[in-house]
Amino acid sequence: MIPFIILAVIAIAGALGVILGRQPVHSALALVGNILALAVLYLLLSAEFLAVAQVIVYAGAIMVLFLFVVTLLTAGKEEGEPPEELGGQRWWAGIFAIGVGVVLAVLAITHPGSAVNTGIPSNFGTIDGLGHLLWGPDFLYLMAVAIMLLTAAVGILVLNRPMKRPRVSRPGRRES
Amino acid sequence: MIPINFVVGLAAIIFAIGAIGVMARRNPLIMFMSAEMMWNSAALAFIAFARQWHSMSGQVMAFLIVGTAAAEVGIGLAIIVTVYHRRHRLDIDEISGMKG
């Protein structure tokens, strides 16, 4: 129980750091802390392959992509948060989201549910067990995600194609 | 073994914090990171349920969530970079022209 409490505190601190960070790069670093805490938590929940995938895909690929974009867009700028235009947007967002979070957390903690104790298979959480499911009964989902990733790649290429009439014409700079 | 209700409670708390980030912040990069956190909390709940019910279907769903989040981040960051190159401001309202 003690490791769970430590990890939960780290994860919640990272989550709060993401939404309270003044600069996007601070938020990105806090998100890395959150993701790593969750990865260790996956290990405690005997999901070894997913813990490794979480570190590689999230903390490796996705956060590096985020940091690249943050450096590309905000380097050397001290740009604060744009002013809010909807009246009291932050207050209402906080009130509603905290209400939803409190209700969900109280329901989750007070209704643990009853486990069907069928015994953990020996390959539970390993890449072996996951592969047997993904290439067996759940093959359709795997193909759906594969098609979605392909579509996303094509979409990114379409979004980043050179524009025919560049609006910001700066010599020597590629428009992307 | 960790009691499942506390893990799901942690997932709910992280989900709510991510929802606050999406609704209250106006920097599109930070909104995207908050959305990533919400995906992550859903994956955490799936993995906790998989551990509790001794069935690996939840882990399959968490794996698919990781793949979906990767696609979402790619598309979203491409949109943010494209809009920034046209408007030179990091404000989510710049994307309101996408509403068709």
Q: What percent of chain A has pLDDT over 70?
A: 85
Q: What is the pLDDT of residue A93?
A: 84
In chain A, where the domains are located: 1-72, 126-163
Give chain A positions within 8 Å (CB) of B2. 1, 4, 44-45
Average pLDDT, chain A: 84
Asked if B82 has any chain A CB less than 8 Å from its own CB, the reply is: yes
Cβ distance A31 to B60 less than 8 Å, yes or no, reads no
- pTM, to two decimals: 0.86
pLDDT of residue A171: 59
The predicted structure's pLDDT at residue A79: 66
Cβ atoms of A110 and B5 within 8 Å: the answer is: yes
Local confidence band at A166 (pLDDT 50, 70, 90 cut-offs): low
Which is more confident, A44 or A169? A44
Overall average pLDDT of the A30-56 stretch: 92
What pLDDT is recorded for position B3?
81
Task: Give me the pLDDT at residue A52, please.
Answer: 92
Compute the average pLDDT of residues B44-48. Answer: 92
More confident residue, A56 or B54: A56
Across the interface, whether the CB atoms of B27 and A82 are under 8 A apart is answered: yes
What's the confidence (pLDDT) of residue A165?
Answer: 62
Mean pLDDT value of segment B6-24: 91
Q: What angle do CA A44, A50, A51 make, to 5 degrees?
A: 50
User: Is the Cβ of B75 closer than 8 Å to some Cβ of chain A?
Assistant: yes
pLDDT at A154: 93
pLDDT of A172 above 70: no
Kindly list the structural domains of chain B, giving each domain's residue range(s) and its CATH number in brackets, ordered by start: 4-98 (1.10.287.3510)
- Residue A121 has what pLDDT? 77
Which residues have C-beta within 8 Å of that of residue A41, sequence separation ≥ 6?
A4, A7, A8, A11, B7, B44
Nearest neighbour of A62 by CB, restricted to B7, B64, B69: B69
Q: Which of residues 8-37 of A touch B (CB under 8 A)?
A: 8, 11-12, 15-16, 18-19, 21, 24, 27-28, 31, 34-35
Does A74 have pLDDT greater than 60?
Answer: yes
Instruction: Assess contact for A111 and A103: CB atoms under 8 A.
Output: no
Say yes or no: domain A1-72 is CATH 1.20.120.1200: yes
Lowest mean pLDDT among A84-98, A156-170, B25-39, B47-61: A156-170
Least trusted range by pLDDT, from A22-31, A75-84, A134-143:
A75-84
Residue A82 has pLDDT above 90, yes or no: no
**Cα–Cα dist B20/B50, whole Å:** 28
> Cα dist. A171→A100, A168, B84, B89 in Å?
51, 10, 18, 21
Cβ burial, residue B89 (10 Å; 0-12/13-18/19+)? exposed
Please report, in angstroms and rounded to a whole number, the separation of the first and last CA atoms in chain A.
Answer: 50
The ipTM (two decimal places) reads 0.90
Q: Of B39, B93, B83, B36, which is closest to residue A81 (Cα–Cα)?
A: B93
Q: Which position has the higher pLDDT, B85 or A85?
A: B85
Contact criterion met (CB < 8 Å) for B54 and A110: no
Angstroms from A89 CA to nearest CA on chain B: 6
Across the range A77-104, mean pLDDT stands at 79
Q: How far is A19 from chain B (nearest CA, A)?
A: 5
pLDDT at A123: 78
Q: What is the pLDDT of residue B47?
A: 92
